[in-house]
Structure 1
């Protein structure tokens, strides 16, 4: 899958018109009418862009809320369904995240074929329906199956959301919008248990699912008005179809002119081959791109830890501090505050640092300019793990583990935001497939980490267990960020798919 594969079916890589095409009066190459064409998503008004950005972020937020909101209610579910196995109890929580691994591998390429909007809207509706069904489950098998299916639908924003923002915003403008978007999958899992704890204590675990379905339905309704297609190849193909239809009407059906877009080498497309290549693209990116492989491994570790923390907080504050589910849920606020505060700082610094480094480089931007704000996260993350682990181990005041979780959240959001926007900048038109490839291993870790957490902490304790995790995070994170900042451009120059913005 070379960038300029001569088949013309490898993907929506922009193709410059050939000289003979430009001179051939029977070939019409469709592009934007001008650099300021208002139909180009990059030229949309800020109001329209931010309406779409906030909607995509809302899609991305509600799904992770549903993924973790059930955590404080796990005890109720275990009692109702008479589950005694810890593995099965944790599986009802983490199976949702397993679907996150597989959904984007298909949904990411699909949004590069059919556009962003049909995939986002359709999958959110699918998620809402199955999440609603979770509230009516009659046994653990039904609950696990329904959770997996709802997770598949809920994974669409992880595959397409970042790509939508890349469609609309120029690289030097992306920081704030992408910071907001990338905060959602981290903040969502921390907000969910806060509400879930009180719902479980005052009502029933079934309302955990019904309440999130109501909110997802409201977001779906808003999305019908605020979300518009932003993928340039799809928009230009629609424009080309109108031109073909007009020519056919004017010629009485005898039109011989070929109409294609600047993203096509021919107006005729082998959709079977195109579909196959697009679906395979995330796997190809994973196999061929060191950027995807290395960032995928590190983000997998980070994402795995956040779900490990989410399932560990109830155990710490129930078993060590003997609190009720409602008050246990409040401790997720510390994690959420770390995420929120540092995401706000980072959302402003991302573009500021990017512009300054771009100015030093003669006005040319590079994806690596996203990484300086990521480095502090690689330090704060292991520090937070150490404070939280040893605070719980030594039975200190409950505020000490909360402080640790605050720094864990800060480190998570800094590393997650910087690396996610780096992938989007580096892979540009293939952003959805690249994000799908990166998110696969990340979601596998989010599924698996909570399953081994009880055994690890039972054997080692919270202090030693978190010390090991902190050491791994430091050893992987610091060299990864520094290495990509220094050698990232060289790595991209050898890439078949990564290029620029």
Structure 2
């Protein structure tokens, strides 16, 4: 239990208050003796280092040592329990659960306000297109936030947890503030929503990197599945949580967010640190404190780290990669289009299910569950494919698996995206007349809803495959590319939220959604091209892993 709690924010606070007497590490007591004994073992990786090619003599000199005396602090052994990849199953599941819930709450907060538009608009003298800013600015906020927070999580002395809880506190504060400002002007609500999205964003960009910290190549797809599940479930559940409540109090969605954010506090305090660089750096510090010798250094301490360069690389490098690497350019744009299409539901559903089928705001919230059902069914099929077919064969080969092999499931599932959109577009708007000449929908409401499930399930697997492809092909830039990927998705989604309602009203839902379906159909060809020629593209890229 002590080792479980020790690397969490709460555990570190307990150590600080107790002066290190509670929740001790190996290095706090007999660490030096263990270090000496383990250095004699063959499996020991904490060794007296020779002159290291990566070590910067200037950096070491400033820290009071040199390359000849340097003791490089690494994992004690391949099974070192403090290595995030060696966490116990219970610890990995607990970490995965917290990241899932945190991600779910942030995504749920985006859409939970949509049922209140009909009540907020007349209060502020706005039409429903204008009031969509409440959603669009939140989405834009969480699209831009990772540009700051993703690079922070890559700095060894910061790690994953500090950006998570340091950004969560403002997220909680703005969530509480929104419950109090509903009688103020609309601009104040919009500003607070943008800031709420901005500070909720770190988990949306680096959540995948956190899963990558604790799972290996064949485990990580299941971690990504959990994370993507939150990405799909959050926006879908939001309208359901508030749809029935806004009839009595249109401020209730903001209270729901504040309650959920408050419930996250104990979970954030119990989230284990997963950054290997951060953990090793803290280990080295404890060794220096215990021995009083500056020669114990983590790998991240033996070379110069320029924080400014980290941020410049994070801001510029992903854009440079997207411009020079067609594979990343396609994945970024296609992912953005698919995600923006998902958010267009919030503008299309009221026009279809309220205006044509007569559903209430609460009942429309139930329709969003079809997205979860579709994604869930396809996730199970994908997991079975991995468990029974892909992974056993990959392990049997006992060699590196080409990254393009992970893209194979995306091709059949990508077909579901345009198929589902066309089904929704043309069945939701089909009209027939009865004997009295009265107009009625031709199809039962379940038919276009099946189209929603097909699109959601197909796009879920496409996102899953592309995230794995990026993580394996561009591992060095994974966190920054995830931030750029998130910015692309969020920016396009924010634009679609503001523009799609006018398009659907002017052109009709059938034609408007068909345009999105056509773009999605082009993505099917792009995924096939990436699978066929991805290896060739990577061989020509100076950024990709070979």
- TM-score above 0.5, yes or no: yes
**Residues 282 and 134 of structure 1: CA distance in aligned 2, closer, same or farther (over 3 Å):** farther
Distance of 1:351 and 1:265 partners within structure 2: 41
- With structure 1 as the length reference, what TM-score do the two structures score? 0.88
> Does 1:111 find its partner at 2:153?
yes
> Does 1:335 find its partner at 2:377?
no
Larger deviation, residues 126-135 vs 99-108: 126-135
Q: CA deviation at 1:442?
A: 1.1
**Paired position in structure 1 for 2:257:** 212
**Paired position in structure 1 for 2:56:** none
Kept after mapping to 2: 8 A contact 1:176/1:348:
no
Kept after mapping to 1: 8 A contact 2:428/2:510:
yes
**Residues 464 and 279 of structure 1: CA distance in aligned 2, closer, same or farther (over 3 Å):** closer
Q: CA deviation at 1:478?
A: 1.5
Flag the structure with more relative contact order, 1 or 2, with Cα contacts below 8 A and sequence separation at least 6.
Answer: 1
- With structure 2 as the length reference, what TM-score do the two structures score? 0.81
- Which is greater in Rg? 2
> Does 1:484 find its partner at 2:530?
yes
Q: CA deviation at 1:348?
A: 3.8
Distance of 1:58 and 1:485 partners within structure 2: 33
**Residues 117 and 311 of structure 1: CA distance in aligned 2, closer, same or farther (over 3 Å):** same
**Paired position in structure 1 for 2:232:** 186
Distance of 2:529 and 2:149 partners within structure 1: 31
> Does 1:262 find its partner at 2:277?
no
Q: CA deviation at 1:43?
A: 0.7
Q: CA deviation at 1:269?
A: 4.0
Q: CA deviation at 1:141?
A: 0.5
**Paired position in structure 2 for 1:9:** none
**Residues 270 and 109 of structure 1: CA distance in aligned 2, closer, same or farther (over 3 Å):** closer
Distance of 2:67 and 2:512 partners within structure 1: 69
Give the number of equivalent residue pairs: 473
Residue among 303, 313, 318 paired with 2:339: 303
Kept after mapping to 1: 8 A contact 2:178/2:189:
yes
**Paired position in structure 1 for 2:172:** 128
Residue among 183, 187, 197 paired with 2:243: 197
Residue among 420, 423, 428 paired with 2:470: 423
**Paired position in structure 2 for 1:229:** 273
> Does 1:462 find its partner at 2:489?
no
Distance of 1:339 and 1:75 partners within structure 2: 29
Q: Residue by residue, what CA displacement relative to the aligned partner does 1:135-192 show, whole Å, maximum 9, x if unpaired? A: 2222210111011000011211111100010010001111222111112112211111
Q: CA deviation at 1:305?
A: 0.2
**Residues 235 and 291 of structure 1: CA distance in aligned 2, closer, same or farther (over 3 Å):** farther
Give the unaligned 5+ runs of structure 2.
1-46, 54-65, 431-440
Residue among 41, 56, 61 paired with 2:104: 61
Give the helix-richer structure, 1 or 2. Answer: 1
Residue among 389, 411, 416 paired with 2:425: 389
Kept after mapping to 2: 8 A contact 1:125/1:217:
no
Please show how residues 275-294 of structure 1 align to structure 2 within 5 Å: 275-278=311-314, 280-294=316-330
Distance of 2:385 and 2:78 partners within structure 1: 28
Kept after mapping to 2: 8 A contact 1:112/1:278:
no
**Residues 491 and 325 of structure 1: CA distance in aligned 2, closer, same or farther (over 3 Å):** same
Distance of 1:107 and 1:379 partners within structure 2: 35
**Paired position in structure 2 for 1:318:** 354
Q: Residue by residue, what CA displacement relative to the aligned partner does 1:359-405 show, whole Å, maximum 9, x if unpaired? A: 47543233323212222221111111111111221122211221111
Q: CA deviation at 1:134?
A: 2.1
> Does 1:52 find its partner at 2:95?
yes
Secondary structure of the structure 1 residue equivalent to 2:77: coil
Alignment RMSD: 2.4
Secondary structure of the structure 2 residue equivalent to 1:21: coil
Secondary structure of the structure 1 residue equivalent to 2:72: strand
Residue among 52, 71, 74 paired with 1:28: 71
